[in-house]
Amino acid sequence: MAAIAYAVLFMPKAGDGQQSPQGREAGVQPSQQDPSPGRTGTGTDPEPAPTGTPGSQQPQTSAPAGELPEGYVLRDDPEGFRIAVDRTWQRRPINDAGQVRYTGGDFTLIVVPGRDSVQTNGEDPLVYQRDKEPELQPFRDSSWASATGLRRIDVGGRSMAEGQFTWQDSNGREVYVRNLALAVDGTYHVVQVIGPEAQRDKVTEIFEQATASYRSAR
């Protein structure tokens, strides 16, 4: 069973690190700066429509392991992973993009439990996150975007990359995103939290609980 709980000991808190040159203040497009990825789209937020019904394949609720904040529970997801989420959130079945989505209000937790191969996409999770991860394509496409805290973390034989991003979604909403890409047994797993830019602390809370508790049986 692959675990990433140790990752949170090494990952930056919200606002840590230097802001990428593609920062908000400068109003620079992601394509104009290195190491940020090139602009490839029109700025739309390609959110795949979920398949099935929200109530199908509901995850099992487990007793909390260790200390979880009030309102959070551990979910044993049918797609083979365990994660801590808000107990009131709704789960969407895995979609055509290989994503499981948990949603509550203005916040979304996206989990990709092993989709893209390391062999095809390279062994560096930081490069995968920056250039290839589909969940960050809206960042690459947005005309208004920033990135901070981009770093690779190598712990206990595991490689992962973490970053904090902002962009405008297809509705013109400014969103704040925390993202983790982790290589597990030859595939990349992704844990991403999206929320309003003005509620960074809440996004960080959700993200830290999710990444600290994430386990994959694959």
Question: Which of the four pLDDT bands, split at 50, 70 and 90, describes residue 50?
Answer: very low
Residue 78: predicted pLDDT: 96
Residue 60: predicted pLDDT: 55
Q: Where are the alpha helices (DSSP H) in 18-154?
A: 118-121, 125-127, 137-141
Question: Which of the four pLDDT bands, split at 50, 70 and 90, describes residue 163?
Answer: very high
Question: Which of the four pLDDT bands, split at 50, 70 and 90, describes residue 14?
Answer: very low
Specify whether the CB–CB gap between 161 and 17 falls below 8 A. no
Spatial separation of the C-alpha atoms in residues 39 and 170, rounded to whole Å = 16
Which two tokens mark 57?
């394949």
Alpha carbon 10 to chain centroid distance?
Answer: 17
Question: Which of the four pLDDT bands, split at 50, 70 and 90, describes residue 171?
Answer: confident
Mean pLDDT of the chain: 79
In the predicted structure, residue 154 carries a pLDDT above the cut 80: yes
In the predicted structure, residue 72 carries a pLDDT above the cut 90: yes
DSSP string, 154-173: EETTEEEEEEEEEEE-TTS-
Specify whether the CB–CB gap between 148 and 17 falls below 8 A. yes
Q: What is the pTM of this model?
A: 0.74
**Residue that wins the pLDDT comparison between 13 and 109:** 109
Residue 218: predicted pLDDT: 64
CATH H-level superfamily of 2-12+92-216: Mog1/PsbP, alpha/beta/alpha sandwich (3.40.1000.10)
Question: Mean pLDDT, to the nearest integer, of 137-148?
Answer: 94
Question: Mean pLDDT, to the nearest integer, of 29-39?
Answer: 39
One-letter amino acid at 167 equals: W
